[in-house]
């Protein structure tokens, strides 16, 4: 792959090379039809087969039970911040939110437009360095749902054990940056959503997995396009779906299945992350942002001794073909995003560079 570098960007993020190659062909001529995948009708049999296969692969990879619908929506993960309360939080009712970073804060702000948002946990005063452990917080049993962000892309924290909600309180999870990175038990959730551009494809499609009974909760005032039920009833074809993004998600899901599925990728992801955390634990030169028990397997965040050294680190790495290592502007430092599609070789190359850089650039 002489034309490729290692892209550690947080999102849109690196995708499997084989998927990109196949896509490059299909954009011009899909299945010898003489038309590109972006040019064919969403009602045509070839596209119907694409979206059907994307759905069935997703259901197979996550063992999604029959009483859940899978939706391919637009508007990004950020639109779910309002769609969730718009559909599930009636006026005068309350929902509980675990505040572990920018993405949960944005979701809390949207929830307040529709009802009461309780925040039984927040790690904000500590700089969002951790997520709560299971059962750490009392959740109001009158909550319409308990909302959390499974992986905090910006801070590099992740739940190793999912939160538990009181009986009859559905769990709602923003899994945008760790969806399909590890097995999950879907039956424990009421709703899961994920923007595609971190771990499963290009920007432009958001996946939603929703339990059937929750489709009925939306107040009558919710506009047609913003009701989950509209899209569930029409198999995500109420209007034109994001065809190209859905096609690429299907290619990524095929790739993941061929690799052995989510359990196999989980093992690989854990290995990749452990190599990076080993460097952080071995040398005080790199200071990890996340508390050890909350460390993310997807986004590894750390600081160097000074901002000047961080700048030099990012620039030298880029010159060696390792891009996207600058931390998010709200926290600074460095961030290494190692989603499913980042090859182990890329992480090994970076780890070797980190050790060399620390030795050559004393604080």
Single out the catalytic residue among 26, 69, 178, 198. Answer: 198
Q: Which stretch binds ligand PLP (CB under 6 A): 38-46, 110-118, 157-165, 174-182?
A: 174-182
**CA geometry: angle at 228 spanning 143 and 240, to 5°?**
155
Residue 310 within binding range of ligand PLP, rule CB under 6 A = no
Residue 108 or 358: which CB sits closer to ligand PLP? 108
Cβ–Cβ < 8 Å for 119, 108 = yes
Residue 11 or 261: which CB sits closer to ligand PLP? 11
**CA geometry: angle at 7 spanning 5 and 9, to 5°?**
160
Calculate Rg over the CA atoms of the chain: 21
Residue 103 within binding range of ligand PLP, rule CB under 6 A = yes
From 349, 278, 281, select the one nearest 316 (Cα to Cα).
349
Q: Is 198 a catalytic residue?
A: yes
Alpha helix segments (H runs only) across the chain? 17-28, 45-62, 76-88, 102-111, 228-233, 243-259, 261-282, 307-319, 344-360
Q: Is 255 a catalytic residue?
A: no
- Report the alpha-carbon distance of residue 176 to residue 330 in Å, rounded: 19
Cβ–Cβ < 8 Å for 336, 305 = no
User: Helix (H, G, I), strand (E, B), or coil: what is residue 242?
Assistant: coil
From 297, 301, 77, 58, select the one nearest 173 (Cα to Cα).
77
Single out the catalytic residue among 26, 174, 229, 272. Answer: 174
Residue 195 or 261: which CB sits closer to ligand PLP? 195
Q: Which stretch binds ligand PLP (CB under 6 A): 72-80, 134-142, 181-189, 335-343?
A: 72-80
Q: Which stretch binds ligand PLP (CB under 6 A): 70-78, 116-124, 235-243, 322-330?
A: 70-78
Residue 77 within binding range of ligand PLP, rule CB under 6 A = yes
Count other Cβ atoms within 10 Å, centred on residue 345. Answer: 9
- Report the alpha-carbon distance of residue 35 to residue 251 in Å, rounded: 18
Q: How many residues bind ligand PLP (CB under 6 A)?
A: 12
Residue 123 or 177: which CB sits closer to ligand PLP? 177
Tokens representing 146 are 């308990």
Residue nearest to ligand PLP (CB): 76
Q: Is 275 a catalytic residue?
A: no
- Nearest approach in angstroms of CB 201 to ligand PLP is 12
Q: Which stretch binds ligand PLP (CB under 6 A): 156-164, 170-178, 227-235, 271-279?
A: 170-178
- 105-164 residues in contact with ligand PLP (CB under 6 A) are 149, 153
For ligand PLP, what does the binding mask look like between residues 189 and 218, x meaning CB under 6 A?
------x--x--------------------
Residue 9 within binding range of ligand PLP, rule CB under 6 A = no
List, in order, residues 6 or more apart from 325 with CB less than 8 Å away.
8, 313, 314, 317, 318, 334, 335, 336
Return residues touching ligand PLP (CB under 6 A).
11, 76-78, 103, 149, 153, 174, 176-177, 195, 198
Give the catalytic positions in this structure: 103, 174, 198
């Amino acid at each position: 792959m002489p034309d490729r570098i290692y892209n550690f960007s947080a999102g849109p993020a690196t995708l499997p090379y084989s998927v990109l190659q196949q896509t490059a062909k299909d954009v011009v001529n899909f299945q010898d039809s003489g038309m590109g995948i972006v040019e064919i009708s969403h009602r045509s049999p070839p596209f119907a087969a694409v979206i059907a296969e994307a759905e069935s692969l997703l259901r197979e990879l996550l063992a999604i039970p029959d009483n859940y619908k899978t939706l391919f929506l637009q508007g990004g993960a950020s639109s779910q911040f309002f769609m969730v309360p718009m559909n599930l939080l009636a006026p005068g009712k309350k929902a509980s939110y675990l505040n572990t970073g920018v993405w949960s804060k944005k979701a809390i702000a949207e929830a307040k437009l529709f009802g009461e948002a309780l925040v039984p946990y927040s790690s904000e005063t500590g700089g969002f360095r951790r997520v709560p452990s299971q059962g750490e917080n009392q959740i109001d049993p009158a909550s319409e749902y308990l909302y959390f962000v499974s992986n905090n892309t910006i801070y590099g924290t992740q739940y190793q054990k999912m939160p538990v909600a009181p009986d009859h309180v559905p769990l709602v999870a923003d899994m945008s940056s760790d969806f399909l990175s590890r097995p999950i038990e879907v039956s424990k959730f009421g709703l899961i959503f994920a923007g595609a551009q971190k771990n499963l494809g290009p920007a432009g499609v958001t996946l939603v997995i929703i339990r059937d009974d929750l489709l009925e909760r939306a107040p009558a005032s919710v506009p047609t396009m913003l009701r989950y039920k509209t899209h569930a009833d029409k198999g995500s074809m109420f209007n034109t779906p994001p065809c190209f993004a859905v096609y690429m998600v299907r290619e990524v899901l095929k790739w993941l299945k061929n690799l052995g599925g989510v359990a196999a990728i989980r093992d690989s992801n854990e290995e990749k992350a452990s190599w990076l955390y080993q460097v952080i634990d071995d040398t005080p030169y790199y200071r990890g942002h996340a508390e050890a028990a909350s460390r993310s397997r997807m986004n590894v965040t750390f600081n160097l001794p000074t901002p000047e050294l961080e700048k030099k680190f990012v620039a030298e790495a880029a010159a060696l073909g390792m891009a996207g290592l600058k931390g998010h502007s709200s926290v600074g430092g460095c961030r290494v995003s190692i989603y499913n599609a980042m090859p182990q070789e890329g992480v090994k190359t970076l780890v070797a560079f980190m050790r060399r850089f620390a030795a050559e650039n004393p604080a």
